[in-house]
Amino acid sequence: MATLSKRSTIYLDPVLHKALRIKALETSRSMSELINEAVREALSEDAEDLSAFEERANEPLISYDKMIKRLKKDGRI
């Protein structure tokens, strides 16, 4: 069964277009498949970030100065 697709026009930087075209040839995949995968991954990462923000929404705030002192104390900077 074919999946429903929407047609769209996008404008790519010429160097990016060339790299995408080469990758499509090397992987035997269409440019559309590669773009869909990249957009899907980017949106998934955004969803993960939003979820992490929501989980931490009720944590107490800490000032920048206190955070720097804590990082120095822990030897991280």
- What gap in Å lies between CA 1 and CA 23, rounded to an integer? 26
Residue 9 lies in a domain: no
Bigger pLDDT: 4 vs 3 = 4
**Within the chain, how many helices (H) and strands (E) appear?**
3, 0
Whether 25 maps to a domain, the answer reads yes
Give domain status of residue 55, yes or no: yes
pLDDT digits (tens, 9 = 90+) for 46-73: 888 888 888 888 888 999 999 999 999 9
Please report the pLDDT score of residue 4 as a whole number: 85
**65: domain range?**
14-73
Average pLDDT over every residue of 22-38 = 97
> Is residue 38 situated within a structural domain?
yes
* Assigned domain for 8 exists: no
Domain count, the chain: 1
Residue 56 lies in a domain: yes
Does residue 54 sit within a domain? yes
Is residue 44 assigned to a domain?
Answer: yes
pTM, two decimal places: 0.61
* CA 76 – CA 67 distance, rounded (Å): 11
